[in-house]
Chains A and B, each alone.
Chain A
C-alpha cells in the first residue's frame, strides 16, 4: 500500500528458520501423519485381535471400505448408497429450511419488540429444555412413520438454535451503532435495516451451523427408530444383520456428509459476510 498514510497500516510477519530434525518432529504435518497412521493401524490391530472369525464386533478398515463399495454398487431396500445419502440429505434440507425460515424472522422479531418477546419467550423457554429426540415418539403418533415425522423432528431440533442465535445476535449489537444511525438522521426502520440485520448476520450463521449438526443428529435418530431409507437405515440394517462393517461404513459416510454440509455453510458465510474477521478455533 503506497500512500501518504502507509505508516498507519499494519503488517504481519512470519519468520523463516532452517529445518532441523527437532523441528520436523514437532511440525504439524508430521504429527498429523503420525496420528492418522496410529489411528488406522491401531484400529486395524484392535479389529484383528478382538474379533474372532465370524463374530467380530469391530470391522477392519479394509472391510469397511469393501462394505461401502458393495453398498455403492448393490441396492439395499431399493436404494444404492448415494440414494440413501440423498434421502437423508433431503430430509435435513427440508427440515432445516423450514426451521430457518420460521425461526430466524421470529428471533429477530422477538429481539426487536418487547411485547412479542413477552408473549413468545416464556413458551419458548417452556419447550426449549426438551431434547428434540424426545419428540420422536410423539411425532410418530402424530404423523406415522413416513417422511413428515422425520422432517418434523428436524424442524424441532433446528428451530431452537436458529431462533436463539438470531435473538442474541440482535441483542448483542453495539448500542452506539444505533446512535450513529439516529445521528445521521435515520429512523427506527433504518436502525433495523442497517444495524440489526447486518449485525446479527454472523450470529445467525453460527446458529445455522449449530442447527445443521443438530439436524444430522435428529435425522439419524429418527431413521434409527423407523425408516426404509437413509443413512440411519443403513446403520440399523447393519445392526440387524450383525455386520459391523456396514454400521461403520454408514458412520463414515455420515461423518463425510455432515462435514461437507458444514463446509458449504462456512463458505456461504464467508461469501455473504466478507467483513467478518477470521477467528482462530477448531
Chain B
C-alpha cells in the first residue's frame, strides 16, 4: 500500500460541531448535529452530500464565517500548536460556489487582493498574482473584468485568488456547481493537477459522487437530510491521475450510491 495521507499529522479537526439557525426570529432549524472529523496535512478531503444537508454550513464554520452553536474547530498552525478557530483568517482560504469575485477589479486585481490585504509590497503581490494566474491557465486575461469571463474562468480566478493568499487549508464550497458538465470535468482535472503541483490541505464540498471520487483522498458522506450528520467515511486509495472508468473507481461509486440510497 502506498504511503497514505492519513499517516500524516492532523491539520484541522472538528469536534462535536452542531449548529442551529433561527429562522424568522423564532423557528429553530438544526442544520448540523454532532459532526466530528479530522483532516490530515496535505490531504484532499471531500465532503459529499446532496443539497440541503448542512455541508456548506460546516465549511463556513471551518472558515470561521459562522460560529458553531456547540463544539469547536481546532487548527494546527505553522509552529505545530493546535488552537481553536476564532473567526475567519488568511490561514484558511475559501472558494465560493457563486464565485464572489470583486466585479470592480480585474483578474489581476482580484488575485492580488489577498497579498495586498496582508500588506506585502506591490511588486511581490504582482509577481504572486502572475504566478497563480499562470497556474490556473488564465495568462492573457489579467486585464479582464469578471463580467467578461465565462463561469469556468471566473472560478479559476477564485481558485487562484485563494492560492495567492497561500493559506494552510483550502476550502472549496461546491466550486463547480454552476458549470456545465464538460467544463466541470475539465476543471476537476485542472484542480487535481494544480493540487499536485502545490500540495495543500484541502476540504472540498460537493454533491457529485464522480467529482468526489476523482479528487478525494478520503470522502466524508453526509446524511441526506437536516440536521447534517456524518454517515460514512470512505478511503479512496486509487493512483492519480484517476480514471472515471477504472473498475475500482466504478465499484466504489456503486458502493457510495447504494449506501446513500438507504438514507434518502
A contacts B: CB pair < 8 Å: yes
Q: Is the pair B114, A184 in contact by a Cβ cutoff of 8 Å? A: yes
The interface residues of chain A lying within 8 Å CB-to-CB of B87 are: 182
A10 to B87 alpha-carbon distance, docked (Å): 39
A246 to B92 alpha-carbon distance, docked (Å): 70
**Taking the complex as formed, is B153 at the interface, i.e. its CB lies under 8 A from any CB of chain A?**
yes
Q: Is the pair B152, A8 in contact by a Cβ cutoff of 8 Å? A: yes
Q: Is the pair A3, B140 in contact by a Cβ cutoff of 8 Å? A: yes
A5 to B93 alpha-carbon distance, docked (Å): 25
Shortest Cβ distance from A147 into chain B, in angstroms? 38
The interface residues of chain A lying within 8 Å CB-to-CB of B227 are: none
Q: Which of A128-136, A250-258, A269-277 contacts B (4 or more CB under 8 A)?
A: A269-277
**Taking the complex as formed, is B63 at the interface, i.e. its CB lies under 8 A from any CB of chain A?**
yes
Q: Which of A28-36, A172-180, A220-228, A260-268 contacts B (4 or more CB under 8 A)?
A: A172-180
Q: Is the pair A9, B104 in contact by a Cβ cutoff of 8 Å? A: no
**Taking the complex as formed, is B85 at the interface, i.e. its CB lies under 8 A from any CB of chain A?**
no
Q: Which residue of B lies closest to A177 (CB)?
A: B100
Option from A1, A185, A199, A275 in Cβ contact (under 8 Å) with B147: A275
Shortest Cβ distance from B66 into chain A, in angstroms? 10
Q: Is the pair A176, B100 in contact by a Cβ cutoff of 8 Å? A: yes
The interface residues of chain B lying within 8 Å CB-to-CB of A198 are: 102, 104-105
**Taking the complex as formed, is B96 at the interface, i.e. its CB lies under 8 A from any CB of chain A?**
yes
Q: Is the pair B104, A5 in contact by a Cβ cutoff of 8 Å? A: no
Option from B88, B100, B139, B150 in Cβ contact (under 8 Å) with A174: B100
**Taking the complex as formed, is B122 at the interface, i.e. its CB lies under 8 A from any CB of chain A?**
no
Shortest Cβ distance from B109 into chain A, in angstroms? 10
The interface residues of chain B lying within 8 Å CB-to-CB of A274 are: 145
A201 to B63 alpha-carbon distance, docked (Å): 29
Q: Is the pair A194, B113 in contact by a Cβ cutoff of 8 Å? A: yes
Q: Is the pair A183, B93 in contact by a Cβ cutoff of 8 Å? A: yes
A199 to B138 alpha-carbon distance, docked (Å): 25
A252 to B139 alpha-carbon distance, docked (Å): 52
The interface residues of chain A lying within 8 Å CB-to-CB of B153 are: 5, 8-9
**Taking the complex as formed, is B9 at the interface, i.e. its CB lies under 8 A from any CB of chain A?**
no
**Taking the complex as formed, is B50 at the interface, i.e. its CB lies under 8 A from any CB of chain A?**
no
The interface residues of chain A lying within 8 Å CB-to-CB of B103 are: 275
Q: Is the pair A277, B150 in contact by a Cβ cutoff of 8 Å? A: no
The interface residues of chain A lying within 8 Å CB-to-CB of B90 are: 183-185
A176/B96 contact (C-beta < 8 A), A185-B118, A275-B104 known = yes
A184 to B183 alpha-carbon distance, docked (Å): 27
**Taking the complex as formed, is B213 at the interface, i.e. its CB lies under 8 A from any CB of chain A?**
no
**Taking the complex as formed, is A4 at the interface, i.e. its CB lies under 8 A from any CB of chain B?**
yes
Q: What 0/1 readout, one digit per residue, does chain B (129-160) give for beta carbons within 8 Å of chain A?
A: 00000000111100001110011110000000
Q: What 0/1 readout, one digit per residue, does chain B (6-17) give for beta carbons within 8 Å of chain A?
A: 000000000000
**Taking the complex as formed, is B94 at the interface, i.e. its CB lies under 8 A from any CB of chain A?**
yes
A1-49 interface (Cβ within 8 A of B): 1, 3-5, 8-10
Option from A5, A183, A277 in Cβ contact (under 8 Å) with B94: A183
Q: Which residue of B lies closest to A201 (CB)?
A: B104
**Taking the complex as formed, is B123 at the interface, i.e. its CB lies under 8 A from any CB of chain A?**
no
**Taking the complex as formed, is B72 at the interface, i.e. its CB lies under 8 A from any CB of chain A?**
no
A5/B137 contact (C-beta < 8 A), A179-B65, A275-B103 known = yes
**Taking the complex as formed, is B98 at the interface, i.e. its CB lies under 8 A from any CB of chain A?**
yes
Which of A1, A5, A195, A198 has the largest number of chain B CB atoms within 10 A?
Answer: A5
A89 to B94 alpha-carbon distance, docked (Å): 51
Q: Is the pair A181, B117 in contact by a Cβ cutoff of 8 Å? A: yes
Shortest Cβ distance from A52 into chain B, in angstroms? 60
Q: Is the pair B104, A273 in contact by a Cβ cutoff of 8 Å? A: yes
A199 to B105 alpha-carbon distance, docked (Å): 11
**Taking the complex as formed, is A186 at the interface, i.e. its CB lies under 8 A from any CB of chain B?**
yes
Q: Is the pair B113, A184 in contact by a Cβ cutoff of 8 Å? A: yes
Chain B residues proximal to chain A, CB less than 8 Å: 63-65, 87-90, 92-94, 96, 98, 100, 102-105, 113-114, 117-118, 137-140, 145-147, 150-153, 161, 165, 183
14 new A-B contacts, CB < 8 A, other than A5-B138, A183-B94, A198-B104, are A5-B153, A8-B183, A174-B100, A176-B98, A176-B100, A183-B90, A183-B92, A184-B113, A185-B88, A185-B90, A186-B117, A190-B117, A198-B105, A275-B147
Q: List 12 A-B contacts (CB under 8 A).
A: A1-B140, A5-B138, A9-B150, A176-B96, A177-B100, A177-B102, A179-B88, A182-B65, A182-B87, A185-B118, A186-B117, A194-B102
